[in-house]
Structure 1
Amino acid sequence: MAVLTPAAPGPSLRLRANALQSLCRQVFALRLVMIPLGTPLALSRTAPGVPAYLVSGAAVATFTLSYALFRDGERPGPLLPRHRWLLAPDMALGTLLLITATPSSPLGLVALGTPLLAGLVYGWRGSAVYAAAQTAVVAALGGGLVLSLLCVLSGAAGSSVRDFLTRLTQARAQLAVAEAIRAERDRLAREMHDSLAKTLHGLALTADALALTDDPAAIRTRSAQLAVAARRAVTESRALLTDLREPLADVPLLPALHRLAGPGTTVHAPGPLPVLPAPAAHHLLAIASEALENARRHAHATTVALTAASTPTHLTLTVTDDGRGLPPRPTPSPGHYGLLGMRERATALGARLRVGPHPDGRPGTRIDLTLPLEGSS
């Protein structure tokens, strides 16, 4: 039974609606089991003839309605929160069983389903109305204190479960929002580090050098470099904003790697490279860019090589250099999160990243990225 509000539900409301739908279906399933089990016992205590026919007819009617709601509960489900009287026919059939089979028969327990459903669908207000009405019917038919108390308890149980689901879905929604905010902050930090922050750093170095220069020719050169860096910062800022507002466009992988390499870096691709989805290509190129930047700026390498190769199951990207290498246990220092960003991007890709010395002991650093291709096992 779908329990939906008239307005378009958000994720938390949909989650709660699905949970309540499952619970309501379980109530009907329990009733479907109880009726066939209790009917033979009820008939054994009923006089033959018309009384037996009445008990059988009431059992069949209740079973049929319960089965219809169990199977096709999504159709009337959205109406229940808006029209509380729709559970009245369900209670009427339960009352018919109480009248024909008497509350002391096993079929009397079927009447507990209506207060329980009211608690699940309407909360404590709805469960109070239906539990009170069902208790009054049971008392009027001589059902005894136990069954009357069970009617009250079933309504309270349904209401309590609904309240628990409400709190649970709210907590999960808040947790999901917090995780989404943190993921977005991490993503923005990676994007700014891998683009704008590097350009601004270079711009600051150029400005520092310009302040220490007295030679007019050098000043003109530094000023031109400063202008180029400033324009590059503006371009990268616009590109970052475009990426935030618009979907990423597909980028041919090999030409993009050649553009990243720049002078002094060799690019080798022994075969054709696959076409990757735009987000995957974006992460891969950012990892390659950070690896090349580390080799040139921090490792002071004289030779840098980038190799990209593809098999039917994996794409591998390798960056090697002959620089001074990494410290034994590299950890991010304040303001320097390049390696951390590379690992986060590799995790987002589902790829394996290795950063360390050359396996053969040569000086320098080797970075290997292995990306499983879609459809590979």
Structure 2
Amino acid sequence: MTKRFGPTAVEPATPLWWGGIALRVLTWLFALGAVIVHQNDFQRPALAWIVLGAMAVWTVLTGLVYSREALRWRWRWFVVLDVVVVCGLMLTSPLILSHTQLSGVDPLITTVWVAGVPVAAGTRFGGYGGMAAGLVVGAATAVARQAFTLDVARDGVLLVATGLLIGMSATTARRSAAALAEAWRREVANAERERLARSIHDSVLQVLARVRRRGAEVGGEAAELAALAGEQEIALRALVSTEPSGAGTGEADLRRALQLLASPKVQVAAPAGDVLLPAAMTAELVAVAREALSNVDKHAPRARVWILLENLATEIVLTIRDNGPGIPEGRLAAAEAAGHLGVARSMRGRVAELGGTISLETGPDRGTEWEVRVPKAGTKR
């Protein structure tokens, strides 16, 4: 499955891939010069030219693979194979160089060409992958030298640092591209929402407003229709004025979702900022609030309702209070025994599945107050 980082499927770290390709070409040219200069001192000059040719072929092959635009074509297994091949070519150095060259300061047959490996691994796997590739190449350098010297240690540190820095750069590029894609998506969604809002305002909302005004003037049954039209007008205005949040991240804004429940008789009080929760948790809490409002409509249709949302450090507190006649003692138990499971299953059951608690305070002429407490993801009660 192709991972999209924005409006296009281009890999954000593509400049790093091309930089790695250019590095290989330049370092292979350096290796060519080193072979020309030192070939008379080699034990097996012919083998040196064979290895140099293999390095050229591998440079071209990796260039073809790493120059692809989409990340999916830069296979993980190929990057691992890249590490293996480069280290294998480097380990031919004891067969080519003389003992004096190995123990001295003369470069191995691959010279600095091996630096392309931690660059590729870091770009593909991130900082840890680049460091791992640098450690492997550094260890292969020590084996090829048949000694662990200060020069070998220095080369190893540089290889590890190169892989780490390139890996961090690639990770940052991908995260920045993902953030830019999300901002772009929101901008497009907001533009479409504003277009729909203008269209709805010029048609549906104006009709609802007119029905509300005329119904209130006429009175009687028309007044009830006016009240319903007013509620729908407020709900529709809240819907078209609510911005999408958390899309693509598996999160949803509980504050905005609860605001859609507002009506002339339902007031919602919530924090100013987004209350982002897992989408499933948000849906369950909104369902609990809807069930509470449904009970109010059934048993106290003229009551007013207040919904309060609190975003605490470790938990979410949702309070639904009304000024109705309250619930008589034993009423809920009798309803559950009669098979009416709205409160038992829809409210208490949902909250229990979220690992939270729900409490009820009510009484004759005291109204009803539900308090729901649900721990945030990653926290324990």
Q: What is the TM-score normalised by the length of structure 1? A: 0.45
Q: What is the TM-score normalised by the length of structure 2? A: 0.45
